[in-house]
């Protein structure tokens, strides 16, 4: 029989560890201040959060102000200052994300792994990054992207909501026509909330869902049509607001403009784009590879996580801000998709214990390499003057 108290204790232990790690790294990041202008996301966002909302320098934050308002509230209620307020709010977000991830892994792997390994897997997934291969790229993150970043407050803030919605959607899809209207209404509201935290999630999730449901219409011979129609209604509020956000940034008369330029953004930071893509997603791509199409097409969680990843990867590879080409703002959605892709792939890898020995060794080796690279990256950020 499962020990609920012990499982809860392991979950809260994971949450506490990631809360403290995030609090430390974000505080250190903010101390670097505006001197590192290119990478000073926390300094810029928190300056608007505690400053005057009328400052035109930060007008783009009006469209997604949740993190900023939370920091402003903490800064006004607690005598801790701007840096600790920003670090505390962000640490709470990552702690919440850790709790959601642990609950998912525990439900899926409770009969496959002992609790301590589920805890270690949770911690590993929360810190892992692209395989560090300095002979291809001297930087850990730049060029490869990562499922875990430490330098952008709004992306870190939307991460728990993104994971929650991702898992929620899959659960509702499994229920199909048994899904209640109240569940769909709440999901619609949370999707809209995610746009107010950071629109990047919906930027990748919406087209990913559309593509997934189109494929499912084909695989189910039209049986999933009614569910697809319900989901289309669910996305109406967030879809409309996302379009408002998009056209305020890239519409007619806006200061920014976008275009299509394959691999241009990646080549600013890596000379080997295709290798960098493999570095970032080596483990989940390996899991997909050993699954095969027949198994993959019947595994809706893994199939959707792959589609979500591919859609966001294409956005990152193809799109560019013509007025600010090195910003890489179309990369944020990819980072969220990579995180979900790693989580689902890890579950599938450890659930299928009948794998050949070489598959176990390669899979565990790749995942360990990702985790060690992430630990190195965390330490590197603590000692480096850079923020990413």
Residue 173 to residues 125, 164, 185, Cα–Cα distance (Å): 25, 14, 15
Other beta carbons within 10 Å of 338 = 25
Tens digit of each residue's pLDDT, the chain (388 residues): 466 777 789 999 999 999 999 999 998 888 776 544 445 688 888 888 887 766 666 677 888 999 999 999 999 999 888 889 999 999 999 999 999 999 999 999 998 899 999 999 999 999 999 999 999 988 899 989 999 999 999 999 999 999 999 999 999 998 877 778 899 999 999 999 999 999 999 999 999 999 999 999 998 888 889 989 999 999 999 999 999 988 888 766 667 788 899 999 999 999 999 999 999 999 999 999 998 888 888 899 999 999 999 999 999 999 998 888 777 889 999 999 999 999 999 999 999 866 688 889 999 999 999 999 999 999 999 888 777 7
Task: Give which of 216, 384, 388 is closest to 303, Cα–Cα.
Answer: 216
d(CA 97, CA 201): 15
Residues 156/147, Cβ–Cβ less than 8 Å = no
Residue listed under structure tokens 């792994």? 113
pTM over 0.75: yes
- What's the 3-state SS for 348-377? HHHHCCCCCHHHHHHHHHHHHHHHHHHHHH
Half-sphere exposure of 124 (CA within 13 A, CB side): 20
């Amino acid at each position: 029989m499962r020990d609920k108290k012990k499982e809860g204790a392991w979950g809260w232990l994971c949450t506490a560890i990631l809360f403290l790690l995030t609090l430390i790294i974000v505080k250190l990041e903010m101390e670097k201040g505006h001197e590192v202008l290119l990478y000073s996301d926390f300094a810029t966002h928190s300056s608007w959060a505690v400053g005057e909302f009328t400052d035109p320098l930060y007008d783009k934050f009006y469209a997604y102000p949740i993190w900023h308002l939370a920091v402003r509230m903490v800064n006004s209620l607690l005598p801790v200052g701007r840096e600790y307020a920003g670090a505390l709010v962000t640490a709470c977000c990552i702690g919440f994300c850790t709790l959601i991830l642990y609950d998912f892994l525990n439900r899926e792997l409770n009969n496959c792994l002992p609790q301590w390994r589920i805890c270690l897997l949770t911690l590993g997934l929360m810190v892992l990054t692209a395989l560090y291969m300095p002979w291809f790229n001297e930087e850990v993150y730049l060029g490869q992207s990562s499922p875990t970043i430490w330098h952008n407050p709004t992306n870190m803030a939307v991460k728990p909501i993104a994971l929650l919605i991702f898992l929620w959607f899959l659960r509702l899809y499994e229920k199909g026509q048994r899904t209640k209207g109240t569940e769909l209404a709440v999901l619609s509201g949370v999707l809209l909330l995610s746009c107010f935290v950071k629109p990047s999630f919906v930027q990748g999730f919406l087209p990913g869902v559309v593509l997934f449901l189109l494929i499912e219409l084909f695989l189910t011979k039209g049986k999933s049509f009614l569910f697809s129609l319900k989901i289309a209604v669910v996305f109406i509020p967030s879809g409309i607001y996302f379009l408002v956000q998009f056209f305020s940034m890239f519409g007619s008369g806006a200061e920014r403009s976008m275009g299509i330029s394959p691999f241009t953004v990646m080549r600013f930071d890596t000379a080997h784009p295709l290798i960098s893509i493999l570095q970032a997603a080596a483990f989940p791509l390996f899991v997909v590879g050993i699954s095969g199409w027949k198994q993959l097409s019947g595994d809706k969680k893994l199939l959707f996580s792959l589609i979500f990843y591919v859609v966001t990867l294409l956005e990152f590879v193809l799109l560019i801000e013509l007025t600010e080409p090195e910003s890489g703002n179309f990369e944020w959605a990819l980072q969220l998709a990579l995180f979900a892709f790693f989580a689902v792939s890890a579950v599938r890898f450890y659930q299928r214990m009948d794998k050949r020995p070489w598959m176990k060794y390669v899979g565990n080796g790749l995942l360990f390499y990702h985790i060690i690279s992430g630990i190195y990256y965390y330490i590197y950020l603590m000692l480096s003057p850079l923020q990413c």
